[in-house]
Amino acid sequence: MRVLALLIGLVAAACPGVAHEFWIEPHEYQVKSGAGVVADLLVGENFEGAPQVFFPDRATRSEVIRDGNVLPYQGRMGDVPAIQVAEPGAGLLILVHETRATTLKYKAWEDFAAFAAHKDFPDIEARHDERGLPRQDFFESYTRHAKVLIGVGGAEGEDRETGMETEFVALANPYTDDLSDGMPVRLLYQGRPRAGAQVEVFDRAPDKTVSVFLARTDAAGEAIVPVQPGHAYMFDAVVLRPAPEGGRPVWHSLWAALTFAVPAD
């Protein structure tokens, strides 16, 4: 079953055109002081995914951040779970993982159009045609920019901008702050707030059912997303831009993901 799951994950990782998300999911969102942290890199849909093998050469960065200290994550090639941190210390632990670009070929326009519509790019057809691009057999490249918040011990601390090309920054600590009015986040692209962007929210209840809804950032690139105690969340947002000239890809997408959980009490 483990081999099957990994094969499914590899296939899914090559198919973002059908909106497969990429995220970091710990085995436990809250751990006791002195305990280790174990997390999977997952690819899938509707907050259900297959674990990915850790390959250092597929990442541009993989880091462990706590209390302002940034440490490169030194994983071992082939590890599953991909991230294993021994006794990180008490506080709000932030894990980030940013991938190298992968290229995907679209044989049919409809597949790319469906992906773009899902991720809120309704003008993609006009933009594509303005550039004189073919409607079939064209390439897109994509990168993943994932972050997870984990509470260790008392979980004190706050999220921070990490410098990923696109990322969510949590404006509250889900393990210590009152989220009765929602979870405030800021979405960044190249270090600047991304206004008017779609945020796809995946909400997993304690019974493992998943609901999906949309939010949108304001002029400051911020959104307040309703959350519930005992639920786990993934926020997803995509940038879609022309790829650099001279290569096979004609489009490049950047996928930001933030995962966290809200304590049950």
182-239 residue pLDDT tens: 999 999 999 999 999 999 999 999 999 999 999 999 999 999 999 999 999 999 999 9
Domain total of the chain = 1
For residue 74, name the pLDDT band (cuts at 50, 70, 90).
Answer: confident
Helix (H, G, I), strand (E, B) or coil at 244: coil
pLDDT at 10: 42
pLDDT at 75: 86
pLDDT at 1: 37
**For residue 154, is pLDDT > 70?**
yes
**Closest-CA residue to 96 (of 54, 64, 70):** 64
List the domain range (segments joined by +) for residue 28: 2-261
Question: What are the residue ranges of helices labelled H in the chain?
Answer: 2-13, 109-118, 124-130
How far apart (Å, rounded) are the C-alpha atoms in residues 213 and 201? 5
**Closest-CA residue to 140 (of 239, 21, 42):** 239
Q: Which residue has the higher pLDDT, 98 or 79?
A: 98
pLDDT at 207: 98
pTM: 0.93
**For residue 50, is pLDDT > 70?**
yes
pLDDT at 19: 59
pLDDT at 5: 38
β-pairing, 83-85 vs 37-45, is antiparallel
For residue 16, name the pLDDT band (cuts at 50, 70, 90).
Answer: very low
User: Exposed, middle or buried: residue 134 (CB in 10 Å: 0-12, 13-18, 19+)?
Assistant: exposed
